[in-house]
């Protein structure tokens, strides 16, 4: 309550948003949601959606209050997304709220998924006061993967690259590892919240990457791995010697999805490896297939060719720069074909972070409102792995 006795809705919603962020990387393709129950100016219950298929934030908050011996009748619930009103993996949250005796519900953002039902309408029909739109933009930012996924049927696409100051991602003999050091933890944070990481065949064969999450003293989930293997080069190699490739380490507990135009009959692969051979390996087809696999977000960590092909579909770009100069080498932008008069790529800088060593820089860019034109790539008809 403030000095006038009016509930400070933004204050409590900020707490709910912090709770929601705890579910990032664990709840995909569901939204991360947080909930707080307040009575008499005191927080008596808190909860968040902990993992896919588990109880929703509202029910977790109600259970928390009950566990601590609090009566929630007449209380206010703050929740970052409109409570669901349908039977899915869990019963409707609206029913739990109504039955609890809560009299006021403050919601940050409406649920864009029509499957979730009209939770706001049902709450109001049952005499509960509802307020919508408190810190709405902040709530949509926390759940941006979900909002993109359910409104477009496509995953949220993040591009990532590490470059020297002169724009090189590899030197003249193609060495590319560890351009940045201190800011590498930011890459692992990105992996931990995205449902999948995507790379090309060349990266698999040359670098043998792990693409797992290495964050000390923090809970995380390893992302699924998507490999673009147009000519079946990776498939051919792993059939003969799967154990040589870090991607297929079962200890990482993730799926590996390989897109290829080649199909090898009667080949036994580990159960967590899936091979897809769609009629077309266009970027759009690949993203649609990933969405059908429940992948709501994908981090593109491929080389220059993959980068250029996915750029028109990117929602965000993370650029990591180090105070190094290669001179001769490979550029992340070498496959782009952009006229000089149209060379300003329509992304806006959202965030800049300088490492403690003062030698590394992270730039986060978000797509402007206008759509990217196909002029930014030479060929988007077929993904080159």
Report, as residue numbers or ranges, the catalytic residues. Answer: 58
C-beta atoms surrounding 178 within 10 Å: 9
Distance of alpha carbon 124 from its chain centroid, rounded? 33
Q: Which residues pair with 164 in a beta bridge?
A: 322
Distance between CA 322 and CA 96 in Å, rounded? Answer: 52
| Spatial distance between the Cα atoms of 368 and 86, rounded to a whole number of angstroms | 35
What residues form the annotated binding site for Zn(2+)?
56, 84, 93
Q: How far apart are the first and last CA of the chain?
A: 57
Q: What is the gyration radius of the CA atoms in the chain, in angstroms? A: 23
Strand, coil or helix: 135: coil
Give CA angle at 211 (207, 219), nearest 5°: 155
Residues flagged as binding site for substrate: 176, 191, 203, 211, 214, 301
CA distance 26 to 50: 7
Q: What are phi and psi of 198, to 5 degrees?
A: -120, 135
Cβ distance 83 to 109 under 8 Å? no
CA gap 69, 67 in Å, rounded:
6
Q: Residue ranges for the binding site? A: 56, 84, 93, 162, 176, 178, 191, 203, 207, 211, 214, 301
Answer left, alpha or beta for residue 374, where phi above 0 means left and psi between -120 and 50 means alpha.
alpha
- Beta strands of 67-138 (E only): which ranges? 76-81, 104-109, 129-132
Task: Please check whether residue 312 is in contact with residue 153, taking contact to mean a CB–CB distance below 8 angstroms.
Answer: no
With beta carbons less than 8 A apart as the criterion, state whether 201 and 229 touch: yes
């Amino acid at each position: 309550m403030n000095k006038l006795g009016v509930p400070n809705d933004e204050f409590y919603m900020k707490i709910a948003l912090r709770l929601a962020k705890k579910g990032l990387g664990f709840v995909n393709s569901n939204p991360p949601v947080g909930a707080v129950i307040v009575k008499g100016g005191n927080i008596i219950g808190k909860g968040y959606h902990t993992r896919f298929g588990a109880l929703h934030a509202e029910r977790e908050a109600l259970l928390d209050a009950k566990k601590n011996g609090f009566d929630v009748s007449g209380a206010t619930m703050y929740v970052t997304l409109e409570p669901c009103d349908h039977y899915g993996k869990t019963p409707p949250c609206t029913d739990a709220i109504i039955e609890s005796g809560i009299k006021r519900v403050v919601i940050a953002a409406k649920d864009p998924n029509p499957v979730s039902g009209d939770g706001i309408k049902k709450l109001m029909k049952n005499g509960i006061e509802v307020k919508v739109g408190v810190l709405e933009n902040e709530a949509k930012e926390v759940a941006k993967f979900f909002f993109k996924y359910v409104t477009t049927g496509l995953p949220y696409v993040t591009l990532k690259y590490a470059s020297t100051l002169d724009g090189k991602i590899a030197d003249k003999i193609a060495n590319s590892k560890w351009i940045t050091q201190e800011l590498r933890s930011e890459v692992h944070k990105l992996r931990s919240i995205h449902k999948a990481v995507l790379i090309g065949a060349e990266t698999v064969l040359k670098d043998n990457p792990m693409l797992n999450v290495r964050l000390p003293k923090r809970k995380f989930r390893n992302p699924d791995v998507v490999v673009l293997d147009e000519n079946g080069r990776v498939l051919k190699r792993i059939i003969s010697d799967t154990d040589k490739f870090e991607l297929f380490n079962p200890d990482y507990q993730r799926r590996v999805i390989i897109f290829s135009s080649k199909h090898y009959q009667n080949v036994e692969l580990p159960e967590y490896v899936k091979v897809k051979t769609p009629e077309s390996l266009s970027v759009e087809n690949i993203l649609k297939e990933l969405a059908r696999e429940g992948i709501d977000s994908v981090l593109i960590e491929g080389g220059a060719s993959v980068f250029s092909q996915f750029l028109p579909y990117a929602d965000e770009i993370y650029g990591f720069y180090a105070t190094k100069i290669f001179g001769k080498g490979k550029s992340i932008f070498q496959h782009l074909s952009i006229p000089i008069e149209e060379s300003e790529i329509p992304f806006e800088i959202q965030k800049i972070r300088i490492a403690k060593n003062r030698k590394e820089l992270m730039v986060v860019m978000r797509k402007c409102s206008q759509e990217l034109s196909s002029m930014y790539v030479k060929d988007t008809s077929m993904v080159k792995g």
